[in-house]
């Protein structure tokens, strides 16, 4: 759990902070959809701190069970004691629970969320017989990357339609330059060409690349350059190598980078 502390820095792209706050005040769950490294986790951390709520983050995966979220009985010195899972703790404390990559979770796990994410706002704990009512301060936020979805995964409509949704793309160029400069310490005018390159690389998504270069990788690249690495080397390590293992495609990207810069 992270306690509300100093505000993690977040540069908004649009009205997403206001939307998050409306969702929170009106007790509605929120789904963030967006590619890897576009700022979803940072956004949730920022908003939790801004609203003064503790944050529980759960990374979802195939093996995650409903008990991993809600809790289980544990053996302690011969006794069995109930231990709350992160979702249960968040409900009890009126915290924000953030389920990252929620499409990775199995259907039986997402079903646990149903009574919490409609107007009932309850969490039934079958094992202890409790029925927890979520306080006004509790909020459920989930995120996923629609690009990686396949037919088997993807959210059921009955789950999806319990959430407000926010399409979380890469920040617009002005905002992205501000983010990269602030996060890396590289002067803004030296970040601008990197953003231009990122756009050229993002345009290749779906043709040569599975996913465009993320804001996260841009920050890595600028951090290396700010620390004194030659831009060519930094770009290759942070913005080209991570995108593809195909030697031919990589050579093409290096050429493209030389052209754009
Ligand atoms: N709006 C923003 N304000 C400040 N920093 C940002 C912003 N967007 C992205 N970043 C930077 O990009 C990095 C990656 O963002 P983050 O970890 O939030 O991505 P994510 O969308 O959660 O990715 P993933 O889906 O892979 O978990 C952050 O650590 C931060 O440095
Ligand atoms: Mg994340």
Alpha helix positions (H), the chain: 16-25, 40-50, 66-70, 86-93, 107-113, 157-160, 173-184, 188-202, 215-226, 231-235, 247-260
Q: Using one digit for the tens of pLDDT, what is the confidence trace for 4-60?
A: 668 999 999 999 999 999 999 999 999 999 999 999 999 999 999 999 999 999 999
37 lines ligand 1 (CB under 6 A): yes
Summary mean pLDDT of the chain: 93
- pLDDT tens, 200-225? 999 988 777 888 899 999 999 999 99
Check residue 209 and report its DSSP letter: B
226-244 tens-digit pLDDT: 999 999 999 999 999 999 9
CA 200 – ligand 2 centroid, Å: 24
- Assess whether the C-beta atom of 171 lies below 6 angstroms from ligand 1: yes
- pLDDT band of residue 150 (cuts 50, 70, 90) is low
Nearest residue CA, atom 15 of ligand 1?
Answer: 39
In angstroms, what CA-CA distances link 126 with 6, 18, 67, 90, 130?
A: 37, 36, 10, 17, 7
100 CA distance to ligand 2 middle (Å)? 7
Q: Is 160 in the pocket of ligand 1 (CB under 6 A)?
A: no
The alpha carbon of 37 and the centre of ligand 2 are apart by a number of angstroms equal to 7
20 C-beta closer than 6 A to ligand 1: no
Find the ligand nearest to 147 CA: 1
> Please, which residues have CB less than 5 A from ligand 2, an ion?
41
């Amino acid at each position: 759990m992270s306690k509300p502390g100093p505000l993690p820095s977040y540069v908004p792209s649009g009205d997403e902070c206001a939307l998050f706050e409306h969702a929170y005040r009106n007790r509605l769950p929120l789904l963030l959809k967006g590619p890897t490294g576009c700022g979803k986790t940072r956004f949730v951390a920022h908003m939790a701190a801004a609203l003064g709520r503790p944050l529980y983050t759960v990374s979802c995966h195939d093996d995650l069970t409903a008990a991993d979220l809600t809790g289980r009985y544990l053996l302690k010195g011969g006794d069995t004691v109930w231990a709350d899972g992160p979702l249960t703790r968040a409900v009890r404390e009126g915290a924000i629970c953030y389920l990252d990559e929620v499409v990775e979770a199995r259907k039986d796990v997402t079903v646990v969320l149903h009574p919490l994410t409609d107007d009932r706002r309850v969490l039934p704990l079958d094992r202890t017989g409790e029925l927890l009512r979520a306080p006004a301060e509790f909020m459920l936020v989930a995120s996923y990357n629609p690009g990686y979805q396949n037919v088997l995964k993807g959210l059921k409509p009955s789950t999806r339609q319990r959430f407000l949704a926010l399409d979380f793309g890469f920040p617009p160029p002005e905002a992205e330059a501000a983010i990269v400069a602030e996060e890396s310490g590289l002067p803004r005018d030296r970040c601008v060409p990197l953003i231009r390159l990122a756009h050229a690389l993002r345009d290749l998504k779906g043709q040569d690349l599975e996913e465009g270069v993320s804001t996260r990788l841009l920050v890595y690249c600028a951090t290396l350059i700010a620390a004194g690495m030659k831009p060519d080397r930094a770009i290759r390590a942070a913005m080209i190598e991570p995108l593809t293992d195909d030697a031919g495609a990589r050579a093409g990207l290096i050429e493209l980078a030389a052209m754009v810069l």
